[in-house]
Amino acid sequence: MGSVSAADVRGRVRALLAAWDQKADPAEFLRARFDAGLAWVHFPVGLGGLDAPRALQAVVNAELDAAGAPDNDPRRIGIGLGMAAPTILAYGTDEQKARFLRPLWTGEEVWCQLFSEPGAGSDLAGLGTRAVRDGDDWVVDGQKVWTSSAHTARWAILIARTDLDVPKHRGITYFVCDMTDPGVEVRPLRQITGEAEFNEVFLTGVRIPDAHRLGAVGDGWRVAQATLMNERVAIGGGASVPRESGMIGPVAATWRERPELRTPELHDRLLRLWVDSEVARLTAERVRQQMAAGTPGPEGSGLKLSLARLNQQLSGLEVELLGEQGLRYGDWAMVRPRSVDFYGRDAGYRYLRAKGNSIEGGTSEILRNIVAERVLGLPAEPRNDKDAAWKDLPR
pLDDT band at 336 (very low <50, low <70, confident <90, very high): confident
Report the percentage of the chain scoring pLDDT > 70. 94
Q: What percent of the chain has pLDDT over 90?
A: 64
- Write the DSSP string, 302-357: HHHHHHHHHHHHHHHHHHHHHGGGGG--S-------SS--SS-S-HHHHHHHGGGG
pLDDT of 291: 61
For 111-219, CATH number out of 2.40.50.140, 2.40.110.10, 1.10.10.10, 1.10.630.10 equals 2.40.110.10
Per-residue pLDDT, averaged over 269-291, amounts to 85
Pick among 3.40.50.2300, 3.20.20.370, 1.20.140.10, 3.90.76.10: CATH of 223-375: 1.20.140.10
Decide if 220 contacts 173 (C-beta within 8 A). yes
Q: Catalytic one among 231, 260, 318, 373?
A: 231
Report the mean per-residue pLDDT for the chain.
90
Q: Is the pLDDT of residue 338 over 90?
A: no
Residue 290 confidence (pLDDT): 65
- Please report which confidence band the pLDDT of residue 122 belongs to, taking 50, 70 and 90 as the band edges: confident
Q: Across residues 269-292, what is the average pLDDT?
A: 84
CB 350 within 8 A of CB 248: no
Mark whether 360 is an active-site residue: no
Residue 247 Cα distances to 256, 265, 302, 361, angstroms? 15, 20, 18, 18
Domain locations in the chain as residue ranges: 1-71, 111-219, 223-375
Rounded mean pLDDT, 175-179: 98
Say what the pLDDT of residue 342 is.
76
- Choose the weakest-confidence range: 43-47, 83-87, 312-316, 365-369: 365-369
Cβ(174)–Cβ(159) below 8 Å: yes
Q: Determine the Cα–Cα distance for residues 334 and 227; give it in Å rounded to an integer.
A: 30
Q: Does an H or E element contain 32, and which?
A: helix 26-35
Query: Of 310, 286, 313, whose CA–CA distance to 299 is shortest?
Result: 286
1 pLDDT higher than 60 = no
Q: Angle at which helices 248-257 and 299-322 pack, to 10 degrees?
A: 30
Contact 245, 271 (CB under 8 A): no
